[in-house]
Structure 1
Amino acid sequence: MDYGHELQFGVFASPDASRVHETLELAQLADVLGLDLFTVQDHPYNAKHLDTSTLLTAVAARTTSVRVAANVANLPLRPPVGLAKAVATLDVISGGRAELGLGTGAFWDAIVAAGGERRSPKQAVDALVEAIHIIRATWGQDPAQPGARSVTLEGEHYSVKGMHAGPFPVHPVEIWLGAYKPRMLRVTGRLADGWLPSQGYAEPDALPALNNAIDVAAESAGRGPQAIRRMYNVFGQFGAGSGFLRGTARDWAEQLAGLSLTAGMSTYVLGTDDPDVLRRFAGEVAPAVRELVGTERAHRADGSAPRSAPTAPSATVTSGTRAADSRSPLTVRATPDDGARLSAERPWREDDRPVTAKPDDAAYSSAEQAVPQHLVDVHDHLRGELAQLRDIVGQVRRGSLSTGAARSVLNTMAMRQNNWTLGAYCETYCRLVTGHHTLEDRSIFVHLRRAEPDLGPVIDRLEQEHHVIADVLEQVDEALVGLVGTDGYGQAGEGALDEIERALDLLTDTLLSHLAYEERELLHPLARNGFG
């Protein structure tokens, strides 16, 4: 079963008090890598763990787009009114980036030692149901009382009598339940926005049956199975080996894509504190999973592949390998180059680029058109990341110019934060561009040369431009070295900012021109031949 949810990827980090700075840097890395979620476990009785709600607030303050959540909040030690207020506050502070993972509690001896109440399995689930109603009502998001300004619930475990609701989150906060047993699965189907099991407690082969229990409860509640996002805390190791999430990034991608297509899982949260592992997960695994699932969903939608495909789709998409479907002129459009340039430097001439014929009468299936569309989608991601990078540099400059003696300490801290974020972002972005070009040079371009020898001059030119862009990326890196050379108060000098803006202007000119040229010349060949 594939519920059709958008794929999301995140990290499940440790709140170890001895490595708080590493955890915060991991969160910032997750943010600049474009991951969707940063989560941490919540065991308030653990003496080695930071407080989850405080840590997530610090993470939200240091990031701009990643969503944050407890994975999962320990309800017996987090009374629902206080928990609702904490999450709503976090959502307001973060601009709508807080979610709530929630559990009934475990390790009852430790909970009792920390002042909590020992509950039987039935009592724990009853308390969870009461808490969900109180939390949603406190947020003003109770479906039974939308917009209600007061909260009243006479429960066995929690009672609230006429409490004023608020503060209200700035977006509809999702509640995800860590559930495994039949009754909790039924509660998930009735009340939750997401199901968040962990590998080790629910192995991949157990997921379809557990999903089915949620589906039945959702149908009975009049919601439908699609109302519940299916999430999965996963753990793995890159390198030699066999088994689930053992082996290469491609092995990981195929296994996770298979779970999305056959078991309905759509959000993968990787348990790791290793920044290198996180980079591979975000930069290699996540894009490949999206490609595999997106291609298979497109085939299923147009009837060219069975809807009950039992395994992850092949990474190879080539012309003529799918059942015939309706064909139409190429609908994918190359991104236009408006000719505007920011830099006075010209690393190449643009009027001597080789070109290929663009057949006006060519027609392609929807599966074939999906291949060049994927190239444009990847390029759009690079363009968007570049725009965000330029915006970050602008923020650094604005922070530098606003520094004043009366607020020197505050602005020094802000500048250090901005400089770190800029450095991490540039490093990540350069890695992303280089990885994309390496993939093209070593795989896609080799395939196209063999399929259409007449493309040789165009591919030669594209590869030459890859080398030029690599040199420009090195200039960006060198400019970052100058940015790190701040004064004793952590303020970036104007010269360092000027140099990085110069390098970014040149990168903008070369990269955007190159991407537009590549799309103009390769959309038809990719539709004819696939990625190889």
Structure 2
Amino acid sequence: MSDYGHPLEFGSFITPSAADPTGVVALAVLAEQAGLDLVTFQDHPYQPGFLDTWTLLSHVAARTQKVHLAANVTNLPLRPPAVLARSVASLDLLSGGRIELGLGAGAFWEAIEAMGTPRLAPAQAVQALEEGIDVIRQLWDVDARGPIRVHGDFHRVVGAKRGPAPAHHVGIWLGAYKPRMLALTGRRADGWLPSLAYLKDGDLAAGNRIIDEAALEAGRKPGDIRRLLNIGGRFDTHELADLALNDGVSTFILASDDPDELRRFAAEVAPAVRAAVAAERSGTPSTPPPAPVPARPSVTVAGRSPFSVTPTPDDGVRRSSTVVWDEQTRPTGPAPDPDHTYTAHDLATGRHLVQVHDGLRGELAQIHDLIDQVEAGTIDVGTARSHINTMTMRQNNWTLGTYCESYCRIVTTHHTIEDRSLFPHLRRADPRLAPVVDRLEQEHHVIHEVLEGVDKALVALVSTPDGLPALREAVNLLSDTLLSHLSYEERELIEPLSRLGMQ
């Protein structure tokens, strides 16, 4: 079992298709807006159907604010390491410390040769990569004395000046599969970045052993190397948690160009995996501890601890002076049966509701952050004035509007699923829940009207320079209503969902 204890991160692996450049950039922006930590693109400079990865990364860095960016992985044979080092450091400085460096020794050598670089044997390619890492690290080390001196068989850099230094410690992640590359990862790299599709059963454990042994021999700690993994296709949340806890994977990168898959990965999968891993690491339930607010009574399960799924409490903070409903008139459901027993599967059903809601809460916080950025004038910083001119505010509004509309669509879809499927099932399965379900449906209609108010404020902001306060008020009202509603829904439905199931 190898859990290196790194915080979990989640990212996207987007195809840099030259046929739809605006769509590629839009997916990268969506990944940031959905709450992912990382956006990556493959780097195949010999592929005419792809955009140049480093040009694309520069453009995406100018269109985003927080998400980290990387090639997955950089083709070093076609990227001279000294030039690459300055490119990475420059973009890291321009982006505020958001660039990481995935590196590969090279593949598809016929295509690489066709671009003018001699073919290397596998052992030579690994040696060239190690020399390249030495060049890159020396160039970034501006505190060292004297010029760079690397007398390699494949990379010889003697007398080059150091700098610039990146804005932050740039992680060097190696795409490694064979023993030589894995050992190099342990000796010199900050991360291991394979693709799950290229691995067989047991390869992750075997790779970890080689990396850990090489790290120890080099005087490093195995935990110094982050374990990243490209994933795709269908997977279960529990599978990812198992990969984190047993194989040390702390960064999951989803290979998908489907915007709905990226949204789900950020809003549902990431919170669920984080909660499961946090619970296992701490030995405590993954949900927040109870707070002094009205909540369902605990359920004592025979032979076990009290019911362990805790609703997220309403903190009582209100941003808007507008009140759309009376919270004191909300009905409550039946008291839980203290003799009822629950399987792990039963409890997972209730937890899933909290996890989905947590995704919505996180995205709501990002909306407020985007508004703050617009108000502070930080969005679109670095974009050439000659290209944006009077369109700066329009671009700010479009960035904000696109995200808000996307978020509102997610909320509406979530409520539609509940209204058409879940709520009728709960009414049938336990008629005592009818008053609660009726109230939740009524609140869904109110929230829909509040969402429409956000839409109207967005439209007004496009044409009215002073429309930001109205948008802020509309989103404040959305926060008040939605956060209150989600807490009420969890308080009343977590136990019935665990007891009755979805359908």
Match of 1:334 in 2: 313
In structure 2, do the counterparts of structure 1 residues 323 and 23 end up closer, same or farther at CA, with 3 Å as the change threshold? farther
Match of 2:20 in 1: 19
Q: In structure 2, what residue type is equivalent to 1:272?
A: S
Instruction: Write out aligned runs for 1:413-428 (5 A).
Output: 413-428=391-406
* Match of residue 507, structure 1, among 475, 478, 486: 478
Match of 1:230 in 2: 227
Bigger mean CA offset, 76-85 vs 460-469:
460-469
Measure how far apart 1:67 and its partner are.
0.8
Gaps of 5+ in 1: 237-244, 246-250, 304-317, 359-366, 487-491
Distance 1:408 1:138 in 2: 33
Distance 2:149 2:500 in 1: 60
Match of 1:242 in 2: none
Distance 1:333 1:278 in 2: 25
Measure how far apart 1:113 and its partner are.
2.3
Aligned length: 477
The answer to whether the 8 Å contact 1:18/1:48 transfers is yes
Bigger mean CA offset, 162-171 vs 201-210:
201-210
Match of 2:295 in 1: none
* Match of residue 218, structure 2, among 218, 221, 238: 221
* Match of residue 350, structure 1, among 319, 327, 338: 327
Distance 1:253 1:329 in 2: 19
Cα offsets for 1:73-126 (capped at 9, x unmatched) = 111111111111111111111111100000111222222222223212111111
The answer to whether the 8 Å contact 1:12/1:233 transfers is yes
Cα offsets for 1:43-71 (capped at 9, x unmatched) = 22222322211110100110112110011
Q: Is 2:169 the counterpart of 1:172?
A: yes
Q: In structure 1, what residue type is equivalent to 2:129?
A: L
Q: Is 2:448 the counterpart of 1:473?
A: no
The answer to whether the 8 Å contact 1:92/1:170 transfers is yes
Q: In structure 1, what residue type is equivalent to 2:366?
A: Q
Q: In structure 1, what residue type is equivalent to 2:479?
A: T
Give SS of 1:425's match.
Answer: helix
Match of 1:266 in 2: 250
Give SS of 1:69's match.
Answer: strand
Measure how far apart 1:284 and its partner are.
3.4
Match of 2:141 in 1: 140
Distance 2:500 2:217 in 1: 44
Measure how far apart 1:267 and its partner are.
1.9
Identity in percent: 53
* Match of residue 389, structure 1, among 367, 379, 395: 367
In structure 2, do the counterparts of structure 1 residues 356 and 280 end up closer, same or farther at CA, with 3 Å as the change threshold? closer
Distance 1:88 1:121 in 2: 28
The answer to whether the 8 Å contact 2:191/2:225 transfers is yes
Distance 1:175 1:83 in 2: 12
Q: In structure 2, what residue type is equivalent to 1:464?
A: Q
Measure how far apart 1:130 and its partner are.
1.3
* Match of residue 287, structure 1, among 271, 288, 293: 271
Q: In structure 2, what residue type is equivalent to 1:505?
A: N
The answer to whether the 8 Å contact 1:447/1:531 transfers is no
Measure how far apart 1:174 and its partner are.
0.5
In structure 2, do the counterparts of structure 1 residues 451 and 501 end up closer, same or farther at CA, with 3 Å as the change threshold? same
Q: In structure 2, what residue type is equivalent to 1:43?
A: H
In structure 2, do the counterparts of structure 1 residues 328 and 23 end up closer, same or farther at CA, with 3 Å as the change threshold? closer
Cα offsets for 1:10-49 (capped at 9, x unmatched) = 1212222221111111111111011111111112222232
Distance 2:141 2:425 in 1: 56
Match of 2:51 in 1: 50
Give SS of 1:18's match.
Answer: coil
In structure 2, do the counterparts of structure 1 residues 330 and 256 end up closer, same or farther at CA, with 3 Å as the change threshold? closer
Q: TM-score, normalised by structure 2?
A: 0.79
Cα offsets for 1:267-294 (capped at 9, x unmatched) = 2222222323323333333333334434
Match of 2:70 in 1: 69
Give SS of 1:167's match.
Answer: coil
Distance 1:222 1:444 in 2: 56
Cα offsets for 1:429-482 (capped at 9, x unmatched) = 224444665687799989999999987756654453233223322332344455
Cα offsets for 1:319-348 (capped at 9, x unmatched) = 7789857x999999835314x45244x321
* Match of residue 254, structure 1, among 238, 254, 259: 238
The answer to whether the 8 Å contact 1:448/1:529 transfers is no
The answer to whether the 8 Å contact 2:314/2:484 transfers is no
In structure 2, do the counterparts of structure 1 residues 508 and 128 end up closer, same or farther at CA, with 3 Å as the change threshold? same
Match of 1:94 in 2: 95
Q: In structure 1, what residue type is equivalent to 2:111?
A: A
The answer to whether the 8 Å contact 1:332/1:523 transfers is no
The answer to whether the 8 Å contact 1:74/1:104 transfers is yes
In structure 2, do the counterparts of structure 1 residues 353 and 195 end up closer, same or farther at CA, with 3 Å as the change threshold? same
Q: In structure 1, what residue type is equivalent to 2:254?
A: L
Distance 1:372 1:98 in 2: 38
Match of 1:59 in 2: 60
Distance 1:40 1:293 in 2: 27
Distance 1:385 1:223 in 2: 38
Distance 2:303 2:178 in 1: 42
Distance 1:235 1:331 in 2: 32
Q: TM-score, normalised by structure 1?
A: 0.75
Match of 1:278 in 2: 262
In structure 2, do the counterparts of structure 1 residues 41 and 523 end up closer, same or farther at CA, with 3 Å as the change threshold? same
In structure 2, do the counterparts of structure 1 residues 264 and 505 end up closer, same or farther at CA, with 3 Å as the change threshold? closer
The answer to whether the 8 Å contact 2:268/2:356 transfers is no
Match of 1:430 in 2: 408
Gaps of 5+ in 2: 286-297, 336-343
Bigger mean CA offset, 502-511 vs 446-455:
446-455
Distance 1:380 1:438 in 2: 18
Q: Is 2:186 the counterpart of 1:189?
A: yes
In structure 2, do the counterparts of structure 1 residues 328 and 529 end up closer, same or farther at CA, with 3 Å as the change threshold? closer
Match of 2:207 in 1: 210
The answer to whether the 8 Å contact 1:337/1:512 transfers is no
Give SS of 1:289's match.
Answer: helix
Measure how far apart 1:171 and its partner are.
1.2
Give SS of 2:220's match.
Answer: coil
Distance 2:370 2:85 in 1: 33
Bigger mean CA offset, 34-43 vs 114-123:
114-123
Measure how far apart 1:349 and its partner are.
1.8
